[in-house]
A and B are shown apart, each in its own frame.
Chain A
Amino acid sequence: MAEETPLTFEELQEKAGKLEVVETLDIEKSMIRNFAAAIGDTNPLYNDEEYAKGKGHSSIIAPPGFFTAAVLSSAFTRLRPQLPLGRGVDAGGEWDILLPVAAGDTLTNTFKFVDVTQEQGSKGMKTFVKFETTHVNQKGEMVARSRSQLMRF
């Protein structure tokens, strides 16, 4: 893999709050079922359409972990082409899950690079790159939002 040239802290500061990617995502049954399979989740809400309808949903719904996955909320994955950061590790995130997402929904996902900070660690300066995302369905309702950060080393 060719190593990208990472941005400096000053270059990151310059871009903070100005970089945003918006995409639409059609939620398909196979996406939900494969996701559930990868996390070993056999819950019928994510697998059995009739069961999910019986619980008041229009189709199978996405498990909560779907909201924490890159498919919905990894701003880092989406922004990486415009934001070369070099090596980094996920330094935590928080997700508000507001409404269910069902197969057949279309989401508009917005990924933003909001801030960058530095602090002195035991092995040198640590840089934290902070992101926010919002996820709105076809009815204009916000279904989820997230805040996450990446620690660059």
Chain B
Amino acid sequence: MPEHQVFFEEVNEGDEITPIKQKITKKDLVIYAVTAGDLYELHYDKDTATAQGFKDVIVHGRLKSALLARVVTDWMGNDGKITKLTCNNRGADFPGDEFTVKGNVTGKRQENGENIVELDVWGENPEGKKTTFGTAIATLPSK
């Protein structure tokens, strides 16, 4: 990955950040389930999922929240830090689908010597429907 860095001075309210597209596989869900310790069968056992009315197993909401964080870290570079994240799931996503994560800058301010940016971040399914909503606060370096 090329080293890049976004600086506070370069950011403006309304800026769109670089989206990420992630095709989440069933294998990803299994690795996530074990690593994150979330072994709820809804995320790897199709019988459990169909019994609850889903067409297939569904992506962990918390995996999607991790992708909402990743869109910010990928965009800003490693000298920026996320200090707060919120996430709300409003719809199911399925493995095999491409999950697109987008974001935009909603504000910037300096406070206690820190350069703070606020963002809206969200995830969309292949039909372009927003299934996952969140916000992030990050600190960025100055030039």
Please list the residues of chain A having a beta carbon within 8 angstroms of any beta carbon in chain B.
1, 31, 34-35, 37-45, 55, 63-71, 74, 77, 87, 89-98
Contact = CB atoms under 8 A, between A and B. Distances in A.
Contacts, number: 119
B85 A91 contact: no
Nearest to B41: A1
B37 interface: yes
Contacts of A70: 36-38, 62
B28 interface: yes
Nearest to A42: B1
A74 B66 contact: no
Interface of B: 1, 22, 28-29, 31-32, 34-38, 40-41, 48, 52, 61-63, 65-70, 72-74, 78-79, 81-89
B66 A66 contact: yes
Given A42-B1, A43-B78, A70-B36, A90 B63 contact: no
A87 B52 CA distance: 9
Nearest to B38: A70
The 7 closest A-B pairs by CB, nearest first: A65-B66, A64-B69, A70-B38, A69-B36, A92-B88, A38-B32, A94-B86
A69 B78 contact: no
Contact of B31 (A37, A63, A65): A37
Chain B interface mostly? helix
Given A38-B31, A45-B78, A65-B70, 14 more contacts: A38-B36, A39-B28, A44-B1, A55-B78, A55-B79, A65-B68, A70-B62, A90-B61, A90-B62, A92-B86, A93-B87, A94-B85, A94-B86, A97-B85
Given A40-B22, A94-B85, A34 B31 contact: yes
B137 to A, nearest CB: 9
Contacts of A92: 86-89
27 contacts: A34-B31, A34-B35, A35-B32, A38-B63, A39-B22, A39-B63, A39-B67, A39-B70, A41-B74, A43-B74, A64-B66, A64-B70, A65-B65, A65-B66, A65-B69, A65-B70, A67-B85, A68-B69, A70-B38, A70-B62, A71-B35, A71-B37, A90-B89, A92-B88, A94-B87, A95-B84, A98-B83
